[in-house]
Structure 1
């Protein structure tokens, strides 16, 4: 029996695709304008529409789930990849909130971990990013206490000793 409890599960926001959607609309407008003079050009509409659908699916199929033990990352449209990062391995967190994300209440969370398979984890375009980061921080500390794990960093210290 597992004591694992899920706190949060979501996909990133489609706002991440805003640039791709705008470019596609411009391309579609160009194809439609060209199709007025050369009707077979309408066939080219398949390309930007397929690209929009693909970009949508890539974001929609990416999922993040935070439990009291690990962060589960699911990605892939055709082939699915599931990666997990144990919370006690999280070394540092960073919340990134560019102006265009703040306007719609989104943030990106960047994690630095001691996990060899996932040394850096990016959780892009999620709602309530500041609250998520705080929840994540608390759970990381709880897991470290539970497993009696502490993170130690060793930095090279240059000799600053004056040999005079």
Structure 2
């Protein structure tokens, strides 16, 4: 006679992608400005070295391309159950965060980013490997945070998990 398990198991749900995107190149504004200044310096130096320092233009160009490619290949994907971060140019790394582990989220929108409709999302988690997850310079950060908040609550309800704060004021256990 088969024995039924009395422990409640959450219903299996299909994982769906809620949002997918990557950081804006504006996050590296100062890096790109440095590359432009370095290229200008190499071009000016070419006037005094009979064109020899034009080879120096290759350095800021490679620095620019490397940073652009690195940002372009970092992808974030928010599903109904987890947040995935895929990064790397030659070697790919996948980092996943189960949504029920998210403890807190905040959005920062500095003036320069706000002008372009961008913002940073920071997640504080109970995950051992990634206690803080930053998603820098994404479009519509407030909408993504709301999607994230809704998905976190739904996943906690589905898994029947609640966050328990055991720290006292100031973070110390009384």
TM-score normalised per structure 2: 0.88
Structure 2 counterparts to residues 113-152 of structure 1, below 5 A: 113-152=125-164
Residue by residue over 1:101-157, the C-alpha shift from the partner in whole angstroms, topping out at 9 and shown as x without a partner, is: 000000000000111111110000000000110110011000000000001121135
Partner of 2:20: 9
Residue by residue over 1:42-100, the C-alpha shift from the partner in whole angstroms, topping out at 9 and shown as x without a partner, is: 11111111000011011101000000000000111111100100000100001010000
How many residue pairs match? The answer is: 158
Gaps of 5+ in 1: 159-164
The partner residue of 2:38 within 15, 27, 35 is: 27
TM-score normalised per structure 1: 0.93
Asked if 1:76 corresponds to 2:91, the answer is no
Alignment RMSD: 1.2
Structure 2 counterparts to residues 22-101 of structure 1, below 5 A: 22-38=33-49, 39-101=51-113
Shift of residue 2, structure 1, vs aligned partner: 6.5
Partner of 1:162: none
